[in-house]
Amino acid sequence: MKAAVIVFPGSNCDRDCKVAVERSTGSPVDMVWHQETELPKGLDLIILPGGFAYGDYLRAGAMAALSPVMQAVKAEAERGTAVLGICNGFQVLCEARMLPGALMKNAGLKYVCKPIELEIANAQTRFTAAYGSKRRVTMTQGNGMGNFVCDDDTLDRIEGEGRVVFRYVENPNGSARDIAGIVNERGNVLGMMPHPDRAFEEELTSADGADLFRSVMAAA
12: domain CATH number is 3.40.50.880
Reported as a pLDDT band with limits 50, 70 and 90, residue 219 is: confident
Q: What is the pLDDT of residue 58?
A: 84
pLDDT of residue 220: 75
The whole-angstrom separation of Cα 9 and Cα 120 is 32
- Annotated catalytic residue 113: no
Of 13, 17, 87, 150, catalytic: 87
Does the active-site annotation cover 195?
A: yes
How confident is the model over 28-45, as pLDDT tens digits? 999 999 999 999 999 999
Average pLDDT over residues 67-71: 98
d(CA 101, CA 95): 9
Torsion of CA 147, 150, 154, 155, to 10 degrees: 40
What pTM was estimated for this model as a whole?
0.96
pLDDT score for 1? 86
**pLDDT more than 90, % of the chain:** 95
**pLDDT > 90? residue 146:** yes
Number of domains in the chain: 1
| Number of Cα atoms under 13 Å in the Cβ half of residue 124 | 4
Range of the domain at 110: 3-219
Q: Which is catalytic among the residues 17, 34, 150, 195?
A: 195
pLDDT of residue 218: 86
